[in-house]
Amino acid sequence: MDAARDGARDGASLTKTRIRNGVWEGVLKAESDIGQPALEVRLNEVALPGLSVTALPDREREWLVKVPVPASVLNEGVQTFLIRARASGQTLAHFTIITGVAMEDDLRAEVDLLRAELDMLKRAFRRHCVETA
C-alpha cells in the first residue's frame, strides 16, 4: 500500500470529535480519493489493538476513526497516544491522558521551574541591554 492510500498524503487530516466511554473518536478527511485508509495507534512505540476506520455514509472521502483506550495501558503519569498512517508512519493526530494525583504536583513544579527560568532569562537580557547600551 502506498503512502497516498494510507492517508499520509493528499491532504488527509484527522480531527478529534470526542472521547466517550473510553473511546477516542475523530473524523479523517481526505482532499482526494485515498481509498480505505490504513491507520494504527501507538503508545510508547507499541501498536495497540482495536482501532477502527469506517466510511461515513453520504460524506465522500470521510471516515470515522475510533480508538478504544485499554484500561491496561492507563498508569499513573502521562500517556500520549499517536494515531499514524501505517505505511509512512506520519502522525495524523495524538491525544494525551494524564492520570494520578501526583501529576498535579508535578505540573505545578514544572510551571514553577519554567517561571524561575523565565525570570533568570529576563534578568540576563536586561543586564545585556544595560551593558551594550
Q: Looking at the structure, do residues 3 and 55 belong to the same domain, yes or no?
A: yes
Q: Looking at the structure, do residues 33 and 68 belong to the same domain, yes or no?
A: yes
Q: Looking at the structure, do residues 69 and 38 belong to the same domain, yes or no?
A: yes
pLDDT of residue 2: 35
pLDDT of residue 129: 94
Q: Looking at the structure, do residues 85 and 123 belong to the same domain, yes or no?
A: no
Mean pLDDT, all residues of the chain = 85
pLDDT of residue 104: 65
Number of compact structural domains in the chain: 2
Q: Looking at the structure, do residues 26 and 81 belong to the same domain, yes or no?
A: yes
Which pLDDT tens digit goes with each residue over 104-133?
Answer: 677 777 887 788 889 889 988 999 999 998
Q: Looking at the structure, do residues 8 and 50 belong to the same domain, yes or no?
A: yes
Owning domain of residue 105: 101-133
Which pLDDT tens digit goes with each residue over 5-47?
Answer: 344 445 789 999 999 999 999 999 987 777 788 999 999 989 9
> How far is it, in rounded angstroms, from Cα 22 to Cα 13?
22
pLDDT of residue 3: 35
Q: With 90 as the cut, is the pLDDT of residue 53 above it? A: yes
Q: Looking at the structure, do residues 65 and 116 belong to the same domain, yes or no?
A: no
Q: Looking at the structure, do residues 128 and 73 belong to the same domain, yes or no?
A: no
